[in-house]
Structure 1
Amino acid sequence: MPGEEPLILTVDMGTTSCKAGLVTPTGRIVACVQESDTTPVYFLPEGGAEQDPDEWWATITRTVRRLLEESGVRRDDIKALGFTAPWSGTVPVDREGRPLGRAIIWMDTRGAKYVRKLTGGPISVEGYGLDKALIWIYFTGGIPTHSGKDSIAHILFIKYERPEIYRATYKFLEPKDYLNLRLTGKFAADFTSIILHWVTDNRDINDIHYEKRLLRMTGIEREKLPDLYPTTHVLGPLTPQAAEALDLPEGLPVIISTPDLQAAILGSYAVQDYQPHIYLGTSSWLSCHVPYKKTDLKNNMASLPSAVPGRYFVANEQETSGVCLTFLRDRLFYAEDILNTGPAPENAYRLLDELAALAPPGSNGVIFTPWLYGERTPVEDETLRGAFFNLSLNTTRSEMVRAVLEGVAFNTRWLMGAVEQFIRRPLGAINIIGGGAVSELWCQIFADVLNRPLRQVEYPAMAGLRGIGVLAGLSLGLSTLEEYAQEAIITRTFEPNPDNRRIYDELFQVFLDLYRRNRSLYRRLNRRFG
């Protein structure tokens, strides 16, 4: 590999896959590898969802070594490391940095009851005590969500239901910050990873710090939380132990980095204010940067500090998007049970894509609601569940698969209305990233459903790697945001097909009606059966 440009070794340790890449400071991906279905999620009663931090590290070391071998990179060309991982997780560690159990990840809802008690009050707005909401919004720009999926909810769950772990915990770390601890031996968080603890004063975006009043309200001791640094901070040198595990030179600079959501936002090339992008991965979101701090309690959105220094982004998330296809693959089409249809072939997603293409737009009236694990935005309701509606004896598998693709797009259209209301302007052309954006069929469905041009970014599944590479460039003074924006590569633009507009407009209204008419039934069913 030529050594003309400095390279950043980046890792995106996702929920269901691990990616590693070599990226230039201006965002050009020189080499990358991916390992899928790497670390299992351990689902537990009452909404538990956990992963093993040691399994993360084993996967990362294996993936990095594969990258180094396949790329043939000279170690001298690697100038820094940057890792990212899913946001809104919690790893309790002792003073030696050892995990005190499995990590609680972003899907876990077991802390919901403690958040509701923490944020409630006699006079409420959208279920939040008015006096408490005003305090939280004043300092943070948001408030702990009732879903129980924020980091603060995980810590409260540990405090009240795993008190022995709480007492033994030296620091509670986000997954990204735990990986940085493995790399540098330092307990630290950046201004973006700490936000969902809801204990920081975010009024000065360049000086985010713990707020004593919020710490008192939550009952979390400051000493159990890591020190805070700007997102462009260089955390420290790579330790000898980590260097040996990764087959890298010790002493390489390690940037403090940012969680996966913010990394992908930066990697979408949509870095100007109000320039939108969609992330279509395990979960999904529709976001853009904005120049102000704002909160929307009704739709569970807020503008929060971005990985771009001095900027905010519109924070929202839809819980299950690409993972809906994983559900089809593993639970219906290729389940490993007595019918002997599994395991799934390596090209299962491509086959599902080809199958969906056989069905007409609108899937002959079959509608899928993608709420397989509840929902966060534009409504927050952990009891919502997925469903196929309007099946008949003539319904085909191709119609059902296409309905899944369309249902995820309908959900994003629902969110788009809330985002446009939040920023007080219509969105224009939208960049699309994430593993789902590899599918040209799905990109076209999104363009038709949203009635917006969709711009497919180069290497859409590797946007997180690109974002971390760019952040490292900014941190080390190797590049500027302006240089990065000029390097944007769009592989294809999908224009809305006017012939499909009437079909999707009608089905979208039915999609909304299905939510309104069935939400009380979901609540009854899932408060009983979980």
Structure 2
Amino acid sequence: MSNGDLVISADFGTSGVKVGVVDHALTILARVTESYPLTLATGGVAEQAPEDWWAALAKAVAALHLEVPDLSERAGALVFSSQLCGVVCCDANGVALRPCLTWLDKRAAPLGKKLVGGFPEVHGYKAHRLLKWLRIANGAPAKNGMDPTAKMLWVKENEPEIYAKTHWMVDVKDWLVHRATGEMTTCPESANLSWVMDTRLGREGWSEALCHMTGIDQRKLAPIVQADHVVGPLTAQAASDLGLRATVRVLGGTSDVMASTLGSGEVEDGALHVSLATSAWIAGFFPDRRISVAHSYATVTSGLDFRPLLIASQENAGSALDWVRNITGGAPAETAFADIGTPQKDDPFFLPWLAGERVPVDNDSLRGTFHGLSLRHDSNALRRAAIEGVALNLRWAMSKVAREKGAKTAGPLSIVGGVASNATFAQTLSDALNRDIRVCSARHAGMLGTATLAAPLMGWAASSTEAATRLKSRSSATFTPNPDRAAALTERANRLTKLRRHVIRSYS
């Protein structure tokens, strides 16, 4: 046990970090969730202080020491996964020079449009630039400015004194790995979504051509490493902060998207899963690069041998449900949608675009709405509309992704994330998609998926994906479509299709 027999897995989300102690059977022996603040302000500001992430990790690990008294002797590896598309500006020592511009930050939207637009245009992109991005990176920055590309340029233009001092511009997980090891690295998913990475087979790495085209300084970009690569042991300071031995090995880690994919157990090519938390996404591995410019999704190069991972992200899921819950009385999240009555034919429609949308329409100016409200509608009607609206929004995205060659559309669909544990929502999604739903380790799939990255290092499995396949058999619940409700939702989805067109046009 000189190298330890347990893994500490930390999954950093938008509102907090879930940290667990995982053993060789991929069983969570103990887990803790610690929150940290998110600063929202006018102009699209959505920031977090990187030191808050580390403080939350230290607090969580301290609590885990109480649950697993011999953790300091038994911990062999520390692995991180995190939210994507953040930008942390660091000096040469890795000290953050300003708060992180998180994935939710939209202040760079004008720069995003300027970066990608121009005559002649194709889907809002300047044609020759788009072709170059598609050929090299298999995608292009979102017009809404939420990808790191526009955020980096925003710092360069609006905070030149910070930019001048910046030695590294990295994502959330990258800063955490450095805080733990003293080594600055990044993962392929983060690199890909900066849209200055060459993702072509055999050429994976930073693209000098794309850096030149966008104005991104390649010298400020960290080396790209694989998710299961051992970056180094803990520094003496990190070991002290966490109460662990300095011999604990820290891996390169991954994004929340790949962590949830591994945690769902859906690791075969074409197998899809849905993650439902603050936002939502449909994701799955494919044997080659895929892209839909019209519907704003693509594969990114993952941290497991650069294997293409399709990601189709929607901005609003749990965030929209929480908003509706709060404006209809603020009942506890666990019970707010449990007893909301039987759906009615005249229930209002809900478009959950409270923070814009990405897939299958990329438009940060879109906003949510209730349609068809009457005097007889009460809080339960609004909550039913919210559950249905998020489910039908996912149906809309799935109708595009399911067309991909090789996409598996038969059999149960796996879902993970906090919203997945909501039985009312899971049944509604089953009815909306007319497909069986399998709820995985709903709130902890990301943590378990992250832990699988250490499986080869710890001798638990030959590969991370081999370890992940063991998780596929772990279902906490299953849901089967109700034929009558499925038919009713298909009818409402058809009506909603017409409504969407008018609403989208009103924001054009």
Give the match for residue 499 of structure 1.
484
Give the match for residue 15 of structure 2.
16
2:470 equivalent to 1:486? yes
Per-residue CA deviations over 1:143-192 (Å, capped at 9, x if unaligned) read: 11111110111101111111111111110010000111110111111222
Q: Identity of counterpart residues, as a percentage?
A: 33
Q: Partner letter of residue 82 of structure 1?
A: V
Query: Contact conserved, 1:27 with 1:467, CA < 8 A, in 2?
Result: no
Query: Contact conserved, 2:115 with 2:150, CA < 8 A, in 1?
Result: no
Query: Contact conserved, 1:378 with 1:414, CA < 8 A, in 2?
Result: yes
Q: Of residues 88, 108, 114 in structure 2, which corresponds to 1:111?
A: 108
Q: How does 1:286-435 map to 2 (within 5 A)?
A: 286-334=282-330, 348-354=332-338, 357-361=339-343, 364-423=346-405, 425=407, 427-428=409-410, 429-435=412-418
* Superposed CA RMSD: 2.1
| 3-state SS in 2 of match to 1:203 | coil
Give the match for residue 26 of structure 2.
27
Give the match for residue 55 of structure 2.
58
Q: Partner letter of residue 445 of structure 1?
A: T
Query: Contact conserved, 2:324 with 2:386, CA < 8 A, in 1?
Result: no
Q: How does 1:443-462 map to 2 (within 5 A)?
A: 443-457=426-440, 459-462=441-444
Q: Partner letter of residue 30 of structure 1?
A: L
Distance 2:316 2:60 in 1: 26
Query: Contact conserved, 2:277 with 2:317, CA < 8 A, in 1?
Result: yes
Q: Partner letter of residue 495 of structure 1?
A: T
Distance 1:470 1:262 in 2: 11
Query: Contact conserved, 1:363 with 1:402, CA < 8 A, in 2?
Result: no
Distance 1:478 1:308 in 2: 17
Q: Give the drift of 1:416.
A: 0.5
Distance 2:456 2:498 in 1: 46
* Cα distance, 1:59–1:425 mapped onto 2, change above 3 Å: closer
* Cα distance, 1:234–1:498 mapped onto 2, change above 3 Å: same
Distance 1:149 1:475 in 2: 35
Q: Give the drift of 1:330.
A: 4.2
| 3-state SS in 2 of match to 1:228 | coil
Distance 1:367 1:140 in 2: 38
Give the match for residue 40 of structure 2.
43
Q: Of residues 232, 243, 246 in structure 1, which corresponds to 2:242?
A: 246
Q: Partner letter of residue 499 of structure 1?
A: D
Query: Contact conserved, 1:238 with 1:250, CA < 8 A, in 2?
Result: yes
Distance 1:487 1:145 in 2: 33
Q: Partner letter of residue 484 of structure 2?
A: D
Per-residue CA deviations over 1:109-158 (Å, capped at 9, x if unaligned) read: 22222222222232221111121111111111111111111011110111
Distance 1:397 1:463 in 2: 32
Q: Partner letter of residue 240 of structure 2?
A: E
* Cα distance, 1:420–1:362 mapped onto 2, change above 3 Å: farther
Question: Please, which runs of 5 or more residues in structure 2 have no aligned partner?
Answer: none
| 3-state SS in 2 of match to 1:333 | coil
Distance 2:444 2:43 in 1: 33
Q: How does 1:249-268 map to 2 (within 5 A)?
A: 249-268=245-264
Q: Partner letter of residue 175 of structure 1?
A: V
Give the match for residue 235 of structure 1.
231
Give the match for residue 337 of structure 1.
none
Query: Contact conserved, 1:24 with 1:470, CA < 8 A, in 2?
Result: no
Q: Give the drift of 1:85.
A: 1.6
Q: Partner letter of residue 478 of structure 2?
A: T
| 3-state SS in 2 of match to 1:227 | coil
2:157 equivalent to 1:175? no
2:116 equivalent to 1:134? no
Q: Give the drift of 1:28.
A: 2.9
Per-residue CA deviations over 1:34-78 (Å, capped at 9, x if unaligned) read: 23xx22222222212111112222112111211221243533321
Q: Give the drift of 1:314.
A: 1.2
2:221 equivalent to 1:225? yes
Distance 1:444 1:247 in 2: 43
| 3-state SS in 2 of match to 1:384 | coil
Give the match for residue 424 of structure 2.
441
Number of positions where the alignment pairs a residue of Structure 1 with one of Structure 2: 504
Q: Partner letter of residue 302 of structure 1?
A: A
* Cα distance, 1:330–1:394 mapped onto 2, change above 3 Å: closer
Distance 1:331 1:307 in 2: 41
Query: Contact conserved, 2:187 with 2:303, CA < 8 A, in 1?
Result: no
Distance 1:133 1:255 in 2: 34
Q: Give the drift of 1:477.
A: 5.0
Q: Partner letter of residue 429 of structure 2?
A: F
Q: Partner letter of residue 342 of structure 2?
A: P
Query: Contact conserved, 1:13 with 1:60, CA < 8 A, in 2?
Result: no
2:454 equivalent to 1:472? yes
* Cα distance, 1:363–1:87 mapped onto 2, change above 3 Å: farther
Q: Give the drift of 1:475.
A: 5.0
Query: Contact conserved, 2:36 with 2:53, CA < 8 A, in 1?
Result: yes
Distance 1:192 1:474 in 2: 21
Distance 2:96 2:148 in 1: 16
* Cα distance, 1:119–1:522 mapped onto 2, change above 3 Å: closer
Distance 1:117 1:418 in 2: 27
* Cα distance, 1:26–1:116 mapped onto 2, change above 3 Å: farther
